[in-house]
Amino acid sequence: MSIIIFIIVLAILVFVHELGHFIAAKKSGIKVSEFGIGFPPRLWSKQKGETLYSINAIPFGGYVKIFGENPDEESVSGPEKARSFVNKPRHIQALVLVAGVFFNILFAWLLISLGYMVGLPTPESHGGQGIVDNAQLVITTVSPSSPAFEAGIKVGDVVREAVSEGKYALDEFSPQALSNFIEAHGKDGITLGINRGAEVLSVDVLGREGVVPGRVAIGVSMDMIGTLRLPVHLAIYEGARDTVRLTYATIVSLGIFIGQAFIGQGDLSQVTGPVGIVSLVGDVTTLGFVYLLSFTAIISINLAVINLMPFPALDGGRLLFVAIEAIRRKSISPKIANALNGVGFALLILLMIVVTVHDVFRFF
């Protein structure tokens, strides 16, 4: 079931991204040959006007065939050159390229706003509009290889009970109270009663030193999380704020990871591919539909930010080419541009394979 939900989420996000390119190209008078979800072989297709709409068998991606985006002799100097991407003004080219990213950000805003309208899990101390109802002690992060991770504790678990040696029990449910309880009794073992979606579970975990400097810990972060439901206008406002914050945090995190990679300190455990995302989708779906909305919004923002990286074959790489051409006032050779995009695509596929293999090993 998780795989099916993942494919649906991915298809929606790719559709939204490619729809941005498609609309911007059409509105700019650029010829669009095909709008495809997934990669061939084709499962279904329909010709409407000059554009072929298709659904393809390999669900991990999608594409819009924009005339002249990969320049050749026909698009540069052929009879329809006026409708070619490569012959449009630089600002039109940039608009078409950035439209997919813009649509992904816009879609994330829509999803988060919708979440607030139906009731979105929110920290009690969120500091925004509205009042958070029914706050509970929730696990927000689980450190890899920590006692909590090894015990099977997951993000989103609601802590409803903590007992040690059958005689010591947590009587105040707050992050600081549970942290102090673990510090005092963690080495003797703690049984946590948790709610995971509709499941009620009991988990035994043994605290240890070194997980958090200077104290006994199990390797989790916690917060008081409740439900925030807002009217439409406030939901849209808070959705915009969250979208901006999440986008900024994603850019900063990606920048830190790339910087660490350049100095040989990049940690592949921070990167998740399709297999890892399938697992996460399963966990999120267990928590409820509104969690899936939030998760999809986060993935949409990540897709937008990654696509803006100045790397060949990504939208950001093509934007870089447009910027270079604008500065030089001269087009880059089609052979060079196509070769760089081909190499970039091959490297992306290689990275995807490496990350997927890593996900599989981590899963088992």
Q: Which residues are the active-site residues?
A: 18
Provide the β-strand partners of residue 51.
48
Contact call for residues 115 and 293 (beta carbons, < 8 A): yes
The answer to whether the beta carbons of residues 149 and 202 sit under 8 Å apart is no
- In the chain, the N- to C-terminal Cα span, in Å, equals 19
What letter represents residue 361's amino acid? F
3-state secondary structure of 156: coil
Whole-angstrom distance, CA of residue 10 vs CA of residue 281 = 11
| Beta carbons within 10 angstroms of residue 60's beta carbon | 14
Q: What angle do CA 100, 105, 109 make, to 5 degrees?
A: 145
Q: What is the dihedral of CA 121, 123, 125, 130, to 10 degrees?
A: -10
Distances 224 to 122, 133, 202 between C-alpha atoms, Å = 8, 11, 20
- Other C-beta atoms closer than 10 Å to the C-beta of 314 total 20
Give the type of residue at 191.
Answer: T
Sign of CA dihedral 20, 21, 27, 31: negative
Backbone angles phi, psi at 312, to 5 degrees: -55, 140
Q: What is the DSSP string of 199-256?
A: EEEEEEE--EEEEETTEEE-SEEEEEEEEE---HHHHHHHHHHHHHHHHHHHHHHHHH
| Residue 279 near residue 364, CB atoms below 8 Å | no
- Phi first, then psi, for residue 296 (nearest 5°) are -65, -40
Rg (alpha carbons) of the chain, rounded to whole number: 24
Residue closest to 52 by CA, chosen among 73, 93, 22: 22
DSSP code for 319: H
